[in-house]
Structure formats: structure tokens, C-alpha cells
Amino acid sequence: MSINKKRLVVATGNAGKLREIKEILSEYEVLGASELGLVFDAEENGNSFCANATIKAEALRQLTSCAVLADDSGLCVDALMGAPGIFSARYAGENASDQDNVDKLLTMLDGVPLEERSARFVCAICLITEDGKKIYGEGTCEGRILLSPQGTGGFGYDPIFYSLDYQKSFGVLLPEQKNAISHRRRALEDLKKKMK
């Protein structure tokens, strides 16, 4: 006899992200908002990853009585006082491409030696349970910013992010290698611990 799982609606249409969440939060039936035809628009105007994840989760929660989950993530570079941070996706402007953002970051770090380019990917997750309780998870992935891109894999800043775990650029890692140590996976694992 099968046991009905509680449903968890995720504020994403990203298949890779959904797969990772399904794997880690296996006690839930995980569905993307778009799979249920839920269209929501949340203005991410918080001052932290956690605040933005909460804004997205609360906006989605208005549309369903199921548990909901949202995340926000980005790259924080120590030599730039934590920039691009929450502005990672639009660092070079509102409609900037990944390449535009990478180019701006490398320009901002021009002249900064490799050993002073410490950085981390950060992910914050907000889960709102069926009864309205908020649970948070956070994860980081430490590394440094390379002088120039290495590899063509991944997306965003991956080709210039050197992972301390693998001693390689995220741009040369296989997706499953990256996902095994990603900031999102670590945030989900942190969330799972707090759910118990």
C-alpha cells in the first residue's frame, strides 16, 4: 500500500533544481510551480539572500495551501566586499547576459592576485510548511575567482569559479560533480536537518 506524500511546490521551473530537491526532500511529492499552472511575480527587493527567498516563498504561498519552497543564491567575492552578492544575476545591468556579468567581475578584480580572490557561492532556502511555519536552510561553496575562464560547462560564473573542494573550475566539472558539493545541495541538507 502506498503512502500519500505531502506536496511541496517549488518556486522554480528549473528541471535540474527540481531533480535535486526531489532527491534530498524525498518525503515530499515535489512539483514546480509551473507544473501546477501557478504564475507568481515576486519583486526580489530584500537586502539578503534569505530575505529574497522569503519574498518568493510568501508570494507562492498566496496561491496554494501546500508547503512551498523558494531559494535565492549568488556569488560573494571578498575583495569586492561581498559583491556581486544578491545582485549576481544582474551585476552588469538588468538584462545582462552571463558573459556580461563575468566580464564585469573580471574587470572589477583586474590587478587583484589569485590568492586574494577568495569567494563563495551562497544559497538561502525558505520552506513554508502547510501550517505556515517558516524553516530556513543555508549553504556555501568556497572557492576563488580565476584570472580567466576555464571550461565551458555550467552557467553564470561557473567557468571563473575555482572550487576548493575539487581544485578545479566549476566550468570543467560534470553536472553531478558540481551538484554533489553545490551551495544549493548544502542549503537543502541544512534545511532537512532543521525539519527533523
pLDDT in tens, the chain (196 residues): 345 688 999 998 778 788 888 888 888 899 999 888 888 888 889 999 999 999 999 999 999 999 999 999 999 999 999 999 999 999 999 999 999 999 999 999 999 999 999 999 999 999 999 999 999 999 999 999 999 999 998 889 999 999 999 999 999 999 889 989 999 999 999 999 998 7
Active site residue 41: no
Q: Please, which residues bridge with residue 124 across strands?
A: 72, 138
One-letter amino acid of 27: E
The single residue of 41, 71, 72, 190 carrying the catalytic annotation is 72
Q: What pTM does this model have?
A: 0.91
